[in-house]
Chain A
Amino acid sequence: MSGLGIWTYLIIIFLMMTGLYMVISSSNLVKKMIGLNVFQTSVFFMYISFGYINGSSGPLYNENVDLYSNPLPHVLILTAIVVGVATTAVGLALTIRIKESFGTIEEDDLHKMDSSL
């Protein structure tokens, strides 16, 4: 595999792990949502890099072009992006309700309040 390919895949794995670390270990709920979005965007990037062909143009039909990138990963990722924003919106709405009920969005305080009920 070429150097650019290895560099791309390594950075994608690094981004995935950064997003996963933010989801697991952040104590602020909004930062957890940011971490989830970072993770999702890195997975989209991985799919698009699978569908790329060297020297191809985009999937737009043109008489002069005979090498197109694969349109199938693009379609899957379009759907996934919209589903991701839907998940983020519902998660943020839940965060607002948690803040109104408990008064805080830090996870350690929420655990203490929840276990003392």
Chain B
Amino acid sequence: MNDHVILRVVGKFLIPYVMLFGLYVQFHGDFGPGGGFQAGVIFASAFVIHTLLFGVRATQKIAPEWILRVVASAGVLLYAGVGVVSLFLGANYLDYNVLGAYPVAGQHLGIILVEFGVGLTVTSVIMLMFFTFAARGESEGDAL
């Protein structure tokens, strides 16, 4: 990609905006279309653009694989953990009414936490899958 100056400049310019849009979709999923899945996919696609432009090795320095595995597991743990907290507070599993001072506040908190867990897992799993596919043909140590 050394002679694709236009792609590199435009890509570097676009990646932060894509990430910002992903975060916007995640946290405004209550008020407009959006939510955890869409935000996770959009955030992961910023890293996919970076991989296409600069190679797998350069992107894996930014997002090493062990961090992605920990984040994926943390997302599932967060979702299931919200349910277990509901159990400890005396209600059914994944009943958000008891998480706050009054039921509507509890529902808000529960939905935000749960969607955040979903977004974490989807982002890291899609990045892991793409890195695995892209790095498979590199057994000779050659860059992409």
Contacts and interface: CB of A to CB of B under 8 A. Distances in A.
Q: Taking the complex as a whole, does A directly touch B, i.e. does some CB pair lie under 8 Å apart?
A: yes
Given A78-B37, A82-B37, A82-B122, A96 B136 contact: yes
A98 B32 CA distance: 43
Interface residues of B, number: 8
Contact of B33 (A60, A81, A82, A93): A60
A89 interface: yes
B129 interface: yes
Prevailing SS type, chain B contact patch: helix
Nearest to A79: B37
Chain A interface mostly? helix
B129 A89 contact: yes
A84 to B, nearest CB: 12
Contacts of A92: 133
Contact of A60 (B32, B37, B133): B32
Interface of A: 58, 60, 78, 81-82, 89, 92-93, 96
What 6 A-B pairs are tightest by C-beta distance, nearest first? A89-B129, A82-B37, A78-B37, A96-B136, A60-B32, A82-B122
Interface of B: 32-33, 37, 122, 129, 132-133, 136
12 contacts: A58-B33, A60-B32, A60-B33, A81-B37, A82-B37, A82-B122, A89-B129, A92-B133, A93-B132, A93-B133, A96-B133, A96-B136
